[in-house]
Structure formats: C-alpha cells, structure tokens
Chains A and B, each alone.
Chain A
Amino acid sequence: MDISALIALIIVFIMLSSALCVLFLPNMIAAVMASSVISLSLTIIFALLKAPDVAMTEAAIGAGLGSLILAIGLKRLNYFNIESHQSNVSGTDPGQ
C-alpha cells in the first residue's frame, strides 16, 4: 500500500466519521464544525486527486464561506450557545 492510499484511507475515515457527527451530534455548533471538517477533508482529497483548482474552490467556498453562512444561520436561529444542547430557547440574547 503506497503512501497516498494510506493518506486517502485516513482522510476518508475522518470524513465519514465527521459526516456521521453532523447527523447525530446534539450540539449544533459541533455539527456545523463537523461539516466544515468534511469540507477540509474533501480539500485534501481533491489535492490528492491532482485537482488543485477544485481543492482551492472547496477550501474557499465549502470550508470557508459555507461554514460562515451556516454559523450566521446558527446565530439567527438562536442555536449559538455552546453549553446547553437543548438550545434554541426563545428570548435569550444571541450575542451573549
């Protein structure tokens, strides 16, 4: 097994486990972070596949902008609190 296959194996493992995290982690911020991890792993995979343009796009748009948009969404839906996973309580100040 050559080195690139080994890297691919590790990255795919990380990617798939964080995909499951996105679905089942109770905390929404963690879920969004996990989806950003998926994008980062995809970036590495695209680089492995000799597709530098796609890797750059995925890094800038998927990992950067996409996660930013989702994070703003969390804030506006009042999910932006780290402690309680029973988040989304109306009446709390999102900025706290």
Chain B
Amino acid sequence: MSKFSTLIFISGLSFLLIVITAQLPIAHPPMLIGQYIIDHAVQDTGVTNIVTSVVLAYRGLDTLGELAILFTAASGVGLLLSNKLNTKLQPSTKTVRLSNSNFIIEHALNLLFPLLLVVGFYVIFHGHLTPGGGFQGGVIIASAFFLNILAKPYKSSDSEIESTHNNLTIIESLSGVTFIAIGLYALISGHDFLEPFLSHGQLGSLWSAGTLPFLYIAVGLKVGAELSSLLITLYDIDSEELTD
C-alpha cells in the first residue's frame, strides 16, 4: 500500500516538474549577468576560457568554499576511518597486504604513470585557455598516484604509507594557504579579496590572465592531494574488517 502511494506521489511530482519546465524560457535564457560576463570577461581577466574567469574571478569565493568542502569531506573520512585505535586493540589482524597485482599491471603502470602526470599538469596549466583546469587535472593526478598504490600494494610498508600521508597533508595545507594568500595579498594591498592582479599578458598565451593560472595550480595541487589522501584512507587494507 505504501508503495502504491509512493508511486502516486512520484507521478504527481513528475507531472509538476513537467508543468514547471514548460514555463521556463527553454533555449532562450534571460542571461542578465551571463551576457555581461561574456562581453567583459576577456578585458577584465585576460582569459580565453570564460568559464575559468567565472570560476576563479567572478565567483572565486565559491571556488574557495568548494575547496573547503572537499577538505572537510577528506577530514571527515580521515576522522572516521583512521582506525589506529582499532588496530592496536586487534593484534590478531595481520598486516599482510593482499597482493593481487601482477607483472603486467606493474609494468603497464610504469609506462602510464608519467603520462598521466603530464596530462594532469597540462590540463591544470592550460585551464585559462582551454577546457579543463584545476579540478579536472587534480583528479587525474590523484588517480595516477592511486593507481600506483593499487598496482603495487605489497611494496609499500607502513612507514612509507605514513610518510605519504605526511607529505599529502603538507601539500594539501600549503596549496590551500597559497590560494588564500594570493587573495589576501590583494586585500592587504587595498583591493578586494581575491582580486586578480599582475598584468594580463598576451591573450591566449600560457603566461597570461594575471594570477588566475596560479590560483588554478593551487586548486589543482589541493584537489590532487586531497583526493589521493581520501582514496588512500578509504582503501586502507590494514583496517579491512572482515578478513579473519
């Protein structure tokens, strides 16, 4: 009976959504602020990818908030799944890592790893010119490092994992602080927070768009480090519960 009422609710809701959608100006949006940004973004910020100018300049505070959310999620995962206490209490769980890797995977990885890194950094560095940027590149870098751990699980000892965590934490912090520091520099020198400075340079060249590429590099490093540490924490086989 409850399923029946749910179905009625759902069909009513979809009808409502269709009615609402019919009222929208489909394919002819009003673009009150969008048109202004399209017209002025190039003079204002010196980018060719206008979405980047929105992400980093017009709505830079959103991006900072977004980085903070990702950081919060990674902190939360670390807070919940750091089973240091557990492993101490459970001497029976062995620390032998599962080695379901093989020769082919390892050597394919050796080939793939630098390639992935190059692609990731390319996407980050060209964020103001072509589609892509810090987020996408950061994910690619994170996946490159995570593949490394997936393919060679038995080669990394506990101390190595610990030092990886240390390094990741430091990269995470420093890149986040760099993003804010670029913004704060503008604030202290009498402008608004996150206001782009430096000259715009030649439109379309790699060194252009003032501070925006630096912001994207900071975003890329932060996203990469955060997602790597998140994946490593989630994947931590040591705290695998049901292995007995």
Residues of A whose CB lies within 8 Å of any CB of B are: 52-53, 55-57, 60-61, 64-65, 68-69, 72-73, 76, 78, 90-95
Contact = CB atoms under 8 A, between A and B. Distances in A.
Given A68-B143, A73-B234, A56 B136 contact: yes
Overall SS of chain A's interface: helix
A66 B231 CA distance: 11
Contacts, number: 52
Given A68-B231, A94-B243, A52 B98 contact: no
A60 B242 contact: no
A61 B238 CA distance: 26
Interface in B106-140: 123, 131-133, 135-136, 139-140
Nearest to A88: B242
Ordered nearest first, which 4 A-B pairs have the shortest CB separation?
A: A52-B131, A95-B98, A60-B139, A53-B51
Q: Chain B binding site: helix, strand, loop or mixed by DSSP? A: helix
B58 interface: no
A64 B139 contact: yes
A69 B234 CA distance: 8
B197 interface: no
State which size class the interface on B falls in: 20 to 34
Contact of B146 (A57, A68, A78): A68
A60 B100 contact: no
